[in-house]
Amino acid sequence: MRTMIVLPDHHHAKAKHKAAREGISLSEYIRRLVARDLDQVAPYVDPRLVFGLFDSGGSKIAEGKQAMISESIDKQFSAKGQ
């Protein structure tokens, strides 16, 4: 089975040059790349590594956000004598 693959000119030139350095055809070079990519097994990453990275220290900012903003604005106005 023949399939045509279109590469940008700069990728084609670099791939052709690399294949020549390795002493293989461009087609063989591309076949090896595809085979290597398809044979790779994605490493398992334990999702627990992500959870618990950030400790809020007991902060309740989500619950008291509006009050904190109001308090900050009040402090700014009182500092300016308004």
pLDDT tens for 41-78 read 888 888 777 776 666 667 777 777 888 888 888 888 88
Instruction: Supply the pTM of this predicted model.
Output: 0.49
Q: How far apart are CA 33 and CA 40, in angstroms?
A: 11
Domain boundaries, the chain: 1-41
> Tokens at residue 5, please?
């693959």
Interval 31-48: pLDDT, tens: 999 999 999 888 888 877
Q: How far apart are CA 61 and CA 72, in angstroms?
A: 14
